[in-house]
Structure 1
Amino acid sequence: MTPEDRRTGRDGGDDLVALILRVLVERAVFPLYQPIVDLTTGNIVAVEALARGPAGSPLEFPDALFSASIRAGVMPLLDQLCATRAMEIARDAGERVPPLLFFNAEPAALNQPFTPELLAVVLSERPYRAVLEFTERALADHPAALLDIAAGVQRTDGALALDDVGADPLSLAFLPLIEPEVIKLDMHLLRAPHAPATIATAAVVGAHAERTGAVVLAEGIETEHDAATARALGARWGQGWLFGRPGPLDALAGRPMDPHARLRPPRPDLHLPDGTPFTMAALRHHSRAGDQPMIDGLTDYLLSLAAGAGPHAVVLGAYPDPAVGRAWLPRLASLADQAAFVGVVGPAPITAGAHPVRTAVTPADGPAAADTVLAVVGPHTAAALCVRPGPDGGVDFVVSHEPDMVHAIARMLMRRLDTAAERLDPPAADRWTSPAVA
């Protein structure tokens, strides 16, 4: 890109649009890499790729780069280009790259057909394991898309990192549903380590990491005191200016690396469980016969659990009978004022004025159409009720408090919360394994 090209972006938005299109054509993205270290040994275990446009241009830094791409309507292409260049450069660096490469990608960008270049590098042999970072807001906005993408990442031996944990109640709420390999503590926690919210966040994250084998990583470490605080909060790895600012991979030459740094093995089927909530739960637990008063009592029990689960609770439901949805709505709306996320799906919309419950209409047929499901997920709560019509006017039901089962049921319900227009077709998981791009 010429100096004249770099100057044109200062004249206005139209020039920035022209410049971002030139960036795409010339693949003029130049990622920098920031080291991530083991807080015990100081050895580099990973790098995070950070997008940069042409040096000295109005689009050098990511805020301007992505703002221009949104204005031009090409954000998905730019985001995929940034991921492609980060992975290509690290792949070609050979032994100079640590065993893990973190990179950010917008779900809206991955919820598109992959460019041939991105697909090629994803499917190529690489000396590192790729770790896709995203925030909790992405799951709330695009649940089906993100769960599909997560499954695709796992199917290609990749891993997941949940970023900015502790900055929003949703981050702790969605931890059990995402089950990332890496949990990145937001940097503000280091600045207030004794605050009740910090202590609570660290405790919840530590318990989750202990149960799932995830690695806790602290961001924003600038001093040795920050590093000590990060260790006290349960972080095993760290990232920040104390260990190095973003730069080219060559800047890491001579620094000790840990070639054996590893994350939990991939679990390709975790985010896309098979079957329906009732059939899956009934395989693990024997179903029981009951009547409607029994189901009403169990529904009250689960909703009371949700009310006591606090601001990090996720409450999800599915109903086959619109009357059930209408009966649920007042209590779900009340829960939505205190829980992190409340969503319900059914064959018809439930409306009762403005309410904060995420709703979606699902087809009235299919294997799950007859099931009534309610799931409550929280840092210390896991409960699900699955109901199906039984013989002689009764019902069959399963109640589970097994975390893995409840989380799987919740993922099924989260995927159903997207409308047909938002769903991936074909699924993103197929895009990570397909030999060609549509």
Structure 2
Amino acid sequence: MGVDGDFDERFSSLISVFQPIVDSRTGLVVAHEALTRWPAFPDTSPDQIFDIARTMGIAEELDRRCIASAVAAAAQFTPADHPPRTLFVNIEAEAISSENSSTSARRLSELLRGGGSQVRPVAEFAERSLLTDPARLLRSADRLRRDGIIIALDDVGADPDSMVVLPLLAPEVIKLDRSLLDDDLTGDKLATLLAVLAYASRFDVALIAEGIETERQKEKAIAWGAAYGQGFHLGRPAPLDASQTSSFPVQPRPPVTRPLTEILDDRATDTTSISVLASISDHLLDFATATAEALTIVIAFPEPDMCSADMARTLRRLARKHPYVKALDAPRALFTATDGVRHADLVQPSERIGAIAVIGQRFYCALVARPLDPNGPASPSNQWRYFLTVDPAQVCTAAHTLIVNSTSPTDPGTSGWLG
């Protein structure tokens, strides 16, 4: 299919079909995933159509139409006296790519909730979006959760690097990449699968196994702990009818909304000097240098001059080793677009907060601190209030809060390498 003048008219003639998501043990349908088809292009995949739409600059509009069509069809075939239908809707990156776009988080929420009380929407993001612009993705997820929308992550396990950012999004639902059901799992794939299973167990995540095409794959998915399944063996994509679905017992998590200053006020009970805090931070960075485990590292400097040239070199080395290293409120001149460090500024710097959060598949640690007198002159003798935690939920909350309050790649005044 080429890019030509009548593409707009042809892609407008889209239809929504729905693939069932099934309780693997009972066989009952608990939800549907909305998929889009274009009758004018029967041999062209949706991914190819979206690629062409991107070249034409109309991917946002295309995504909006797909969402609206799916939600309207789901509402139409869900009788008012039936429980709401749980509907998984794929969200393209363009839907959250611009704060001012028609499909910003606010507009996206309105589209997803367009089915009223008859449709219970689940926003399904692709795993690859985790590392593209985590700040905007996390902010969007917080907004959707405030509106009662569940977050799902698709194709989990396809990219092992995304695993270290997964806890920051904290999806309520994980869809396992179909490759994780292969009989010939490589060592790396098995390690990824076990990490996903451990994460899902620790954070109470619903698991859906995708690509189930045989009874053996279904049984294997159940054995691994995936309560739900999706694939041709369980049901092919088709138009909806008015059949009632069973309950999908998942609720949206509370959004992360508290500023780090409030979290610090609640948890900080001790004080110490900046030299002690710097020593602990150095220990965490030394661990990150030595470990073979892939990590997310987020560090915020209470003053730009606290990020020395030596510290910048350390962060650049870590960025060559780990998939996500972010430095907040550090001197921009110390980093470049090619060194791998995601430099950004805190949108609302809060009383000289300093923090470091390190997250792996098995390791969680965060240190958050600020001076007792935030408005006083900087001095090595100053005392700082702080808390240090290895609780996974608290560490993820600290990192999440730092990231969502930082600039994004397309924000005004940034260089396109901040994320």
TM-score (normalizing by structure 1): 0.82
Q: 1:225 to 1:346 in 2, by over 3 A?
A: same
Q: 1:281 deviation in Å?
A: 2.7
1:73 corresponds in structure 2 to: 57
Match of 2:327 in 1: 344
* Equivalent pair of 1:154/1:266 in contact (CA under 8 Å): yes
Classify 1:64/1:337 alpha carbon distance in 2 versus 1 (closer, same or farther; 3 Å). Answer: closer
Using the TM superposition, give the Cα deviation of residue 34 of structure 1 relative to its aligned residue in structure 2, in angstroms. 1.1
Q: Mark the runs of 5 or more structure 1 residues left unpaired by the alignment.
A: 1-9, 424-438
Q: How many residues align?
A: 396
Contact 2:175-2:209 at 8 Å conserved across structures? yes
Residue 37 of structure 1 aligns with an amino acid whose one-letter code is V
Return the letter of the residue paired with 2:283.
Answer: Y
**Which of 396, 408, 411 is 2:397 aligned to?**
408
- d(CA) in 1 for partners of 2:108 and 2:134? 26
Quote the Cα distance in structure 2 between the aligned partners of 1:219 and 1:340. 26
Report 1 or 2 for greater relative contact order, CA contacts < 8 Å, sequence distance ≥ 6: 1
Alignment of 1:394 onto 2:365: no
Is the counterpart of residue 101 in structure 1 residue 87 in structure 2? yes
Match of 2:145 among 139, 154, 165: 154
Q: Which moved more, 1:144-153 or 1:36-45?
A: 144-153
Local SS of the residue matching 1:167: coil
Q: Report the secondary structure of 2:237's partner residue.
A: coil
State the identity as a percent: 31
Q: Is residue 228 of structure 2 the alignment partner of residue 237 of structure 1?
A: yes
Shift in Å at residue 293 of structure 1? 2.6
Q: Which amino acid aligns with 1:105?
A: I
Aligned Cα root-mean-square deviation (Å)? 2.8
Q: In 2, distance between residues paired with 1:161 and 1:416?
A: 22
Quote how far apart the aligned CAs of 1:182 are: 0.7
The structure where helix makes up a greater share of residues is 1
Q: CA deviation at 1:308?
A: 5.7
Show the 5 A alignment for 1:184-203.
184-192=175-183, 194-203=185-194
Question: What letter is aligned with 1:227?
Answer: K
Shift of 1:376: 0.5
Distance 1:331 1:121, change over 3 A: closer
- What is the alpha-carbon distance in structure 2 between the residues aligned to residue 209 and residue 321 of structure 1? 37
1:51-86 CA-to-partner distances (Å, cap 9, x unmatched) read 222x13378631332133212211111111111111
**3-state DSSP of counterpart to 2:307:** helix
What secondary structure is seen at the aligned counterpart in 2 of 1:217? strand
TM-score, structure 2 length as denominator? Answer: 0.85
Q: 2:365 touches 2:395 (CA, 8 Å); kept in 1?
A: yes
User: Structure 1 residue 37: deviation in Å?
Assistant: 0.9
Which amino acid in 2 is paired with 1:394? N
Alpha-carbon spacing, 1:362–1:228, altered in 2? closer, same or farther (3 Å): same
Aligned with residue 41 of structure 1, among 23, 26, 40? 26
Instruction: Report the equivalent of 2:416.
Output: none
Deviation at 1:97, TM superposition (A): 9.3
Shift of 1:387: 2.5
What CA distance in whole angstroms lies between the structure 1 residues aligned with 2:52 and 2:36? 14
Tell me the amino acid that sits aligned with residue 75 of structure 2: R
Spell out the pairing of 1:5-404 with structure 2 (5 A cutoff).
12-13=2-3, 15=4, 18-23=5-10, 27-53=12-38, 55-57=39-41, 61-95=45-79, 99-110=85-96, 111=98, 112-114=101-103, 119=110, 122-192=113-183, 194-250=185-241, 258-263=245-250, 265-270=251-256, 273-276=257-260, 278-286=261-269, 288-307=270-289, 310-326=292-308, 327-346=310-329, 348-351=331-334, 354-362=338-346, 366-368=348-350, 370-390=352-372, 393-396=381-384, 397-404=386-393
**TM-superposition CA deviations, 1:320-346 (whole Å, max 9, x none):** 333332332222222223322111111
Deviations 1:408-430, CA, capped at 9 Å, x for gaps: 1101222244348438xxxxxxx
Q: Determine the structure 2 residue equivalent to 1:427.
A: none
Any stretches of 5+ residues in structure 2 without a counterpart? Answer: 374-378, 413-419
Using the TM superposition, name which of 208-217 and 91-100 deviates more. 91-100
Report the CA distance between 1:238 and its aligned residue: 0.9
Q: Residues 118 and 78 from structure 1, CA distance in 2 versus in 1: closer, same or farther, beyond 3 angstroms?
A: farther
Contact 2:213/2:231, CA 8 A, preserved across alignment: yes
